[in-house]
Chain A
């Protein structure tokens, strides 16, 4: 158990809908990363937050957004969903800061868009 929690574990929805994925980092970790794993694109970095502020952006679609709250949990919002958004979404957390820190991955949320 990495100490990172993600909810829900599974999510099934329809095209055009909006969903929110939630991540609670390990206690004390300030940095949260979101990754998407799909069959065609593999594992891709989406976005990183550090202590409430956006730190880095990867291949994140404009229909997707994220935020990190004062209690450090993070949410990834996916809107106007398309079939191709079906994927496993991982959250990872790390202590953050200028020095390298290990990233610990949550169990993932499997999103199915029908």
Chain B
């Protein structure tokens, strides 16, 4: 069965520090998608990135970067020079292709990591 583990429940950093959020996943499939979502205190889920299992290139978007390593089943997320606005709960998620049948891409979420950035 598919599973996502975010071992870090809560992290606190001082503004401008770098922080890495860990994500480890388990899946039977060779084709799957990995995601990171941000949930700020207002409650909505904000999509940050999607990666498919065939694309192991790391990605950088501004202060955000993602490191995908199939060999260790990890998809870690780094925020460089953190800001107070980065304070939120961050979720890693996995979608197996056709987990429940063709055309179903339900997401399996980790428990989330609450990031607090202290000014």
Listed in ascending order, the chain A residues whose CB lies under 8 Å from chain B are 2, 31, 33, 35, 42-45, 48, 50, 55-58, 88, 90, 94, 96-98, 100-105, 107-108, 110
Contact = CB atoms under 8 A, between A and B. Distances in A.
B12 interface: no
B101 interface: yes
Contact of A42 (B44, B52, B111): B111
A58 B101 CA distance: 12
Interface of B: 33, 37, 43-45, 47, 50, 52, 91, 93, 95, 97, 99-112
A56 B102 CA distance: 9
B106 A33 contact: yes
A88 to B, nearest CB: 6
B103 A97 contact: yes
A55 B103 contact: yes
A35 B101 contact: no
13 contacts: A2-B44, A31-B103, A35-B107, A50-B103, A56-B104, A58-B100, A88-B43, A100-B33, A101-B105, A104-B47, A105-B45, A108-B44, A108-B45
Nearest to A46: B106
Contacts of A57: 100
